[in-house]
Structure 1
Amino acid sequence: MCGNHGVVVPDAMAKLRKAESAEEFFQILGVAYDPQVVNVARLHILKRMGEYLSGDELDGIPDMIAVARCKSVLERAYEEFVASSPLEKRVFKVLKEAVEPKAPKNFVPLDDLK
């Protein structure tokens, strides 16, 4: 497991806004992670975290509370992908559409065209 084992980085919210990798999110928020899980599902985890945070207004609340919320949500999103694969969770539209039933195409025989 990697991460700084529960230690949140000072000025975490400012650093999260500048983070460039999934690993940085885990390190800043002090969330332990398995690099193999993150290598497979990094975008899915961050997308799910964003979905969970959508609607939450983090600006204007104390950093300590915002960081705690972000940490909780990252842990929740990460655990989803420890327990199942990105294909099972289908976070991204392209994966969702891959399993949706296709509408039948209207077939017109060539002989019917005049």
Structure 2
Amino acid sequence: MSGTLAEFNQLTDAEQFFAFFDLPYDPAIVNINRLHILQKFSALVKELDVEELSEAETLNQYRSAFQQAYTVFLSSNSLEQKLFKVFNQKQQNLVLLSEIDSD
């Protein structure tokens, strides 16, 4: 990996991140989970403390976080991870059978 933070900041899709970090990937996994991989990566990056690190060290931390985000989806899926708000919202117009009374 010989990129810069400026180049990193221009990346927009999952395949670009894999190329930038020189990481192998299965296109089938990425096609199904691309947004979830990027969302997981974003969450992992927010947990990092990179303020005191050099550019190279920061990019190495980002590379590790991206690899970790991808690895999660090798054995899991978007429904299990529930990274987006829509997966955690309770439906408003749903009545459970247990809530129906048969007086």
Q: TM-score range by the shorter chain?
A: 0.7 to 0.9
Q: What 5-or-longer segments of structure 1 have no aligned partner?
A: 1-7, 105-114
Aligned length: 94
1:24-83: CA deviations, max 9, x gaps? 111111111111111111111111111111143435631110111001101111011111
Q: Is residue 46–residue 77 contact of structure 1 (8 Å, CA) maintained in 2?
A: yes
Q: Is residue 19–residue 25 contact of structure 1 (8 Å, CA) maintained in 2?
A: yes
- Give the TM-score, by structure 2 length: 0.78
C-alpha change, 1:63 and 1:95, in structure 2 (3 Å) is same
CA distance in 2, matches of 1:98, 1:83: 26
- Give the TM-score, by structure 1 length: 0.71
CA distance in 2, matches of 1:39, 1:84: 14
Partner of 1:9: 2
Q: What is the aligned-residue identity percentage? A: 27
Runs (4 or more) in structure 1 with deviation over 4 Å come to none
Partner of 1:47: 39
Could you say which structure has the larger radius of gyration?
1
Q: Which amino acid aligns with 1:83?
A: S
